[in-house]
């Protein structure tokens, strides 16, 4: 198995540099700008035209978990027969609640797969109640509680349905990973610029923010009655996410809030990545250069509001639900404030 980035001809060796970035947000404490977040972002209109460009959205980025909808599409195209909640878990960076773990088990049962087939790292649930229950019962971390276990379970089921070796599904040369690359390139209309190993052990592919926004726009505008199989699957996947936003991450998490409030397809990725697409195909993709996700959702919704895609009242309501408060002594003393719009 490949353990480092795969070098393509003229492949970039990193994302955009600080001098190519633009300030996205500041963290203010008692009227003092304590921290500044720089990065890049792009807003695309329904026809794919660039409405806003911040920093360098044509530079390569690893979308990390923001690639999950495309990986889920590849599993669907490879025969994974997933119910709506199972589709959401295939796309999710979940908290490891008892319900989420049950859904992952159900996917594995469909393929008569054991829990040991999961090749993601063992982890504790992020959900505190679930973690406390495990500790009380004397259990330790397990791969089913890793935030990517739903994606892994869907891939394993796809391998069973397609007659591929499930034990090798992490290998970049595996037929399922070939299908992932095909889906990513088709949906984003761009090449894969580099490939590395994600935190869960699966391949992760570098694309541009513009490509990421393009792909999310296509996912959100797809319909389950499309004459094209990939768009039927995309429409089915999107309908499932819209119906179960709490499963995509956790209650009150930034992408769940954006799905609930905007009717958007939204997904965060590690190292400061977020992609959001509205019903009409308007889409935004953000990369915070220092890897922090704390300003990403506020930046995304503010950029959408700046082009008139989100109404002022909705913009204000979304900001009120995000964790933007800076505290001191147990009281609010400041906030994360978007500066790029």
Q: Tens digit of pLDDT for each residue in 71-91?
A: 999 999 999 999 999 999 999
Query: Rounded to whole angstroms, how far apart are CA atoms 276 and 234?
Result: 15
pLDDT top residue among 4 and 260: 260
Residue 9 lies in a domain: no
Pair of tokens at residue 48: 């794919």
- The CATH number covering residue 123 comes to 3.40.710
Residue 10 lies in a domain: no
Domain count, the chain: 1
147: domain range? 18-338
Residue appearing with tokens 């592919």: 205
Query: Rounded to whole angstroms, how far apart are CA atoms 78 and 70?
Result: 12
First to last CA, the chain: 43
At 10 the pLDDT is 64
Nearest to 222 by CA among 304, 279, 300, 184: 279
Residue 42 lies in a domain: yes
Work out whether strand 265-269 and strand 273-277 pair parallel, antiparallel, or are unpaired. Answer: antiparallel
For 121-242, where are the E strands, in sequence order? Answer: 194-197, 203-208
- Mean pLDDT of the residues in the chain: 95
Residue 8 lies in a domain: no
Minimum mean pLDDT range among 50-59, 127-136, 230-239, 319-328: 127-136
Residue 149 lies in a domain: yes
At 90 the pLDDT is 97
Res 234 pLDDT > 90: yes
Res 7 pLDDT > 60: no
At 3 the pLDDT is 46
Query: Rounded to whole angstroms, how far apart are CA atoms 162 and 223?
Result: 25
- For the segment 300-317, the average pLDDT, to the nearest whole number, is 98
Q: What is the DSSP letter of 18?
A: G
At 167 the pLDDT is 97
pLDDT in tens, 140-164: 899 999 999 999 999 999 999 999 9
Residue 314 lies in a domain: yes
Query: Rounded to whole angstroms, how far apart are CA atoms 304 and 147?
Result: 28
Percent of the chain whose predicted confidence (pLDDT) is above 70 = 97
For 190-340, where are the E strands, in sequence order? Answer: 194-197, 203-208, 265-269, 273-277, 283-288, 325-328, 331-338
At 1 the pLDDT is 44
At 311 the pLDDT is 98
Query: Rounded to whole angstroms, how far apart are CA atoms 214 and 187?
Result: 7
Residue 222 lies in a domain: yes
Res 128 pLDDT > 90: no
Calculate the alpha carbon distances from 143 to 6, 116, 125, 148, 170 in Å. 26, 8, 10, 9, 14
31-58 per-residue burial string, b: 16 or more CB within 10 A, e: under 16: eeeeeebbbbbbbbbeeeeebbbbbbbe
All residues at 6 or more sequence positions from 264 whose CB lies less than 8 Å from its CB, including other chains: 220, 258, 276, 277, 278, 279
- β-strand partners of 206: 194
Residue 1 lies in a domain: no
pLDDT in tens, 169-205: 999 999 999 999 999 999 999 999 999 999 999 999 9
Q: How confident is the model at residue 249 (pLDDT cuts 50, 70, 90)?
A: confident
Q: How confident is the model at residue 133 (pLDDT cuts 50, 70, 90)?
A: confident
Q: What is the pTM of this model?
A: 0.94
CB 326 within 8 A of CB 27: yes
- For the segment 95-102, the average pLDDT, to the nearest whole number, is 91
- For the segment 14-26, the average pLDDT, to the nearest whole number, is 97
């Amino acid at each position: 198995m490949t353990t480092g980035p795969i070098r393509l001809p003229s492949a970039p060796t990193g994302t955009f540099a600080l001098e190519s970035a633009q300030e996205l947000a500041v963290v203010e404490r008692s009227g003092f700008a304590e921290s500044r977040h720089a990065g890049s972002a792009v807003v695309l209109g329904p026809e794919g035209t660039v409405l806003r460009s911040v920093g360098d959205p044509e530079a390569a980025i690893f979308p990390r978990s923001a690639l999950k909808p495309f990986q889920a599409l590849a599993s669907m195209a490879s025969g994974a027969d997933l119910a709506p909640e199972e589709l959401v878990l295939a796309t999710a960076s979940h908290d490891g609640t008892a319900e989420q773990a049950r859904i992952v088990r159900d996917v594995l049962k469909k393929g008569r797969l054991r829990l040991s087939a999961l090749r993601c790292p063992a982890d504790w649930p992020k959900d505190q109640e679930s973690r406390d229950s495990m500790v009380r019962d004397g259990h330790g971390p397990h791969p089913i509680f890793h935030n990517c276990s739903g994606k892994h379970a869907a891939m394993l089921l796809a391998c069973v349905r397609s007659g591929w070796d499930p034990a090798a599904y992490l290998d970049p040369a595996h037929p399922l990973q070939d299908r992932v690359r095909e889906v990513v390139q088709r949906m984003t209309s761009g090449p894969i610029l580099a490939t590395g190993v994600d935190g869960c052990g699966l391949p992760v592919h570098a694309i541009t923010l513009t490509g990421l926004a393009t792909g999310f726009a296509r996912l959100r505008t797809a319909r389950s009655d499309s004459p094209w199989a990939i768009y039927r699957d995309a429409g089915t996947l999107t309908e499932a996410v819209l119906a179960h936003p709490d499963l995509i991450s956790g209650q009150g998490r930034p992408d769940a809030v954006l799905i609930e409030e905007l009717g958007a397809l939204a997904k965060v990725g590690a190292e400061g990545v977020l992609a959001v697409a509205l019903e009409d195909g308007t889409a935004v993709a953000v990369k915070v250069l220092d890897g922090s996700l704390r300003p990403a959702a506020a930046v995304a919704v503010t950029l959408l509001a700046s082009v008139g895609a989100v109404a002022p009242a909705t913009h204000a309501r979304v900001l009120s639900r995000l964790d933007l408060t800076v505290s001191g002594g147990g009281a609010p003393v400041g906030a994360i404030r978007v500066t790029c719009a």
